[in-house]
Structure 1
Amino acid sequence: MSSPGLLPQVFQQLNHAVAVADGESLEILAENARFFQLFPPPAEGGEDRLDIRIADLNVERLRDRLGRGRPFSVDREVKAGARTLSLAVDFRAQTIDGGERIVVEARDVSKQREAEYMLDSYSRLAERRARELEREKERVEKLLLNLMPRTVYNELRDFGSATPQRFEAASVLMLDFVGFTEMAVARDPSSIVAELNDIFSAFDRISELFGCERIKTIGDAYMAVSGVPDPNVDHATNVAKSALRFRRYLEKRNAAHPTQWRCRIGIHTGPLIGSLIGIQKYVYDVFGPAVNLASRLEQFAEPMQICLTGDTQALLNEQFRTEELGEYDIRGFGSQQVFALVGERSV
């Protein structure tokens, strides 16, 4: 119940809702019109206490905090006509007219809460956009790494371009499949493409395992190099190991599948140039005599045979078994000593 003695005129004119309650019984002793509007007394009459006016008030915690000389605060939402207001309700103990009282002040913090909500929403949106951008960045990186080696990608990312490089010693592997054109015409295209994708995916894993870089696939042709773009003294050994495992993979696959995939492989070692080609559509490619001669040898090879030049054979250690096929005149390169890579020696 309001007491004019407790509530001077300035008290009634405050914009905040203010009330004074008995410290022991929590009975409302005085309140201004704003407090009465926001926290009306019970319609059925009866006791008029703080814990009735302010729903779900934790009286035990309130008394504990105030008893230790500390303020107590709660947040409440109340209806004010068609609007819902967010209120910050503060309680503090105070001696008034010789009695222990609880002074209650409720402030409208709706705009502050709305600003906090908008800021929080913006923060969550920014975090979501950042995650989406990170996923998109990872997707683009993955796509570009399918088109170029990582070191070239890193240079392109950091500097906006990649410098063409000459490599004095690198080994090139060229592979294609015997009778692929006839197979593609005779069989269901989706089936052929699915099998070719499985095979090339296996080749990619083998290449990566043995320090080779798949440069490109064109139809049924597969090209890999070692020593590019990262120089590697074991480039010839890496390519030889990959070639043998390509063939072994196909042999095992052919034993378990009705469709027989038979490859021809050519390997040569020599100088070449590696460069990023294109402006809008990037692709990393290699050029030079090593590439051309490896391609000629691949066409020269028999089904499931791995042919290599004397330059490559000279770099292979005793770990590998090779067979001299003889000296052949290869278009554009004259007479070349040609070897077949048979396998690896047992340790």
Structure 2
Amino acid sequence: MSIEAINEQLLRAIGVGVALIELDRHTVQFRNDTFNEWFGENDSASTLKDFFPSLDVDEMMRSLRDAGRYSTETSFKLRRRKMTVALEFNLAADTREDFAVLVCQNITRIKELESMIDSYSMMVERNTHEIKREKEQVEKLLLNMMPRSAYEEYKTFGIVSPRLFDPVSVLTLDFAGFDSLVADNDPGVVVSELNDIYSAFDRICAQFGVQRIRTNGDSYVAVSGVPDPNEDHAKAVADSAIRLVRYLARRNQSHPVKWNARIGVAAGSVIGSVVGTQNYIYDVFGPTVSEAVRYRAMARPMTVAASKEFAGRVAGKFGAEEATGDGTDPATQTYVVLQDDGTAPGQAG
């Protein structure tokens, strides 16, 4: 077997097509069997355009003159299957630029793999984006359920250790006649109204550094001093309470559904922790919370009730008047109603 035959067999074995190109007329003078198998056995007068209609011959000639080589790719159908080959033209040595050697490499599999990798990369990128978006949504949800410091502790350790916060002030609110209001209005209207009102409450409380802890139907609980200490916790809660009443009074003037809040405030210590293992929430509890709830029950609609001790903490900043309860609870028979004297700062959102 001759060297030429051996070379031909090797080229066929590795899937390489070879042709000799006469550059003056762009004709294909010699081609091996692999080349003919791919592109057909055209006659000796066949030009590059006959084999490669999309080939930019002018660009090829410029590149051969300037650099002595030119590379490109082309695709075609071979027995109903798309095939992609890499074309590399090199000036033949010692031919005074009359001929170029064309080597065709089958890169169909490479292109298929590249396409698969691109598709996989796009899928991974899309999934990563979805995971990131879902993580942000979960984080946002958890931050609505607990303070950031508690969230960071939960994210790191999987639990939130109970903590005693002292001193703090607690605000609790509910709505007088809520059951009748729910019975007299469409459920969708009630939920929409509560959503607007609680969103405004959150904005008002945030102005004074008061953290909403939870809502439960018509119950709204917020605290100042949890988790970050606040020396003016009593004033912050009193400011928020007065602003909540003022916001509702103004809102009732332009809305058909009238909401009349009762608010109780108290100062002392609370325990804060995540409660539950599946449907968990961050909550605060203790005597101070219970005290605020008691004064809320004693408050008249659209008033803020507190103890004399709490009123003393904010003396000179809010007006107050003494009131008497219904006598059912000696601990709250006498209480103080904080007055809105028009000096509470901030505007309701």
Q: What TM-score, normalized by structure 2, do the two folds share?
A: 0.89
Alignment coverage as a number of residue pairs:
338
Name the stretch that deviates more: 235-244 or 164-173. Answer: 235-244
Structure with the larger helix share: 2
Task: Look up the match of 1:4.
Answer: none
Q: Quote the Cα distance in structure 2 between the aligned partners of 1:165 and 1:63.
A: 80
Give RMSD over aligned pairs.
2.5
| C-alpha spacing 1:20/1:322, structure 2 compared with 1 (3 Å) | same
| C-alpha spacing 1:48/1:299, structure 2 compared with 1 (3 Å) | same
- Match of 1:325, as an amino acid? E
| C-alpha spacing 1:40/1:292, structure 2 compared with 1 (3 Å) | same
Name the stretch that deviates more: 155-164 or 45-54. Answer: 45-54
Name the stretch that deviates more: 95-104 or 70-79. Answer: 95-104
- Match of 1:38, as an amino acid? W
Task: Look up the match of 1:323.
Answer: 320
Task: Look up the match of 2:106.
Answer: 108
Q: Quote the Cα distance in structure 2 between the aligned partners of 1:9 and 1:189.
A: 89
| C-alpha spacing 1:334/1:21, structure 2 compared with 1 (3 Å) | closer
Task: Look up the match of 2:62.
Answer: 64
| Contact 2:267–2:310 (CA under 8 A) maintained in structure 1 | yes
| Contact 1:265–1:298 (CA under 8 A) maintained in structure 2 | yes
| C-alpha spacing 1:17/1:236, structure 2 compared with 1 (3 Å) | same
| Contact 2:19–2:103 (CA under 8 A) maintained in structure 1 | yes
Which residues of 2 match residues 114-153 of structure 1 at below 5 A? Answer: 114-153=112-151
Aligned match of 1:256 in 251, 254, 257? 254
| C-alpha spacing 1:341/1:169, structure 2 compared with 1 (3 Å) | farther
Q: Quote the Cα distance in structure 2 between the aligned partners of 1:189 and 1:330.
A: 34
Q: CA deviation at 1:273?
A: 0.7
Using the aligned pairs only, state the percent identity: 37
Q: CA deviation at 1:339?
A: 4.1
Task: Look up the match of 2:288.
Answer: 290
**1:189-247 CA deviation, whole Å, 9 max, x = no partner?**
22222212221121122222321111111221111111111212222222122112211
Q: Quote the Cα distance in structure 2 between the aligned partners of 1:56 and 1:195.
A: 67
Name the stretch that deviates more: 158-167 or 322-331. Answer: 322-331
SS of corresponding position for 1:286: strand
Task: Look up the match of 2:90.
Answer: 92
- Match of 2:201, as an amino acid? F
* Unaligned stretches of 5+ residues in structure 2: none
Q: CA deviation at 1:249?
A: 1.4
Task: Look up the match of 2:39.
Answer: 39
Name the stretch that deviates more: 108-117 or 270-279. Answer: 108-117
SS of corresponding position for 1:229: coil
Q: CA deviation at 1:321?
A: 2.4
* Unaligned stretches of 5+ residues in structure 1: 1-6
| Contact 1:41–1:48 (CA under 8 A) maintained in structure 2 | no
SS of corresponding position for 1:95: coil
Q: Quote the Cα distance in structure 2 between the aligned partners of 1:273 and 1:332.
A: 26
Q: What TM-score, normalized by structure 1, do the two folds share?
A: 0.89
Q: CA deviation at 1:322?
A: 1.6
| C-alpha spacing 1:225/1:113, structure 2 compared with 1 (3 Å) | same
Q: Is 2:228 the partner of 1:230?
A: yes
Q: Is 2:21 the partner of 1:8?
A: no
**1:263-302 CA deviation, whole Å, 9 max, x = no partner?**
1111111111111111111101111121111111111111
Task: Look up the match of 2:25.
Answer: 25
Q: Quote the Cα distance in structure 1 between the aligned partners of 2:58 and 2:328.
A: 98
Q: CA deviation at 1:327?
A: 7.8
| Contact 2:172–2:292 (CA under 8 A) maintained in structure 1 | yes
- Match of 1:192, as an amino acid? V
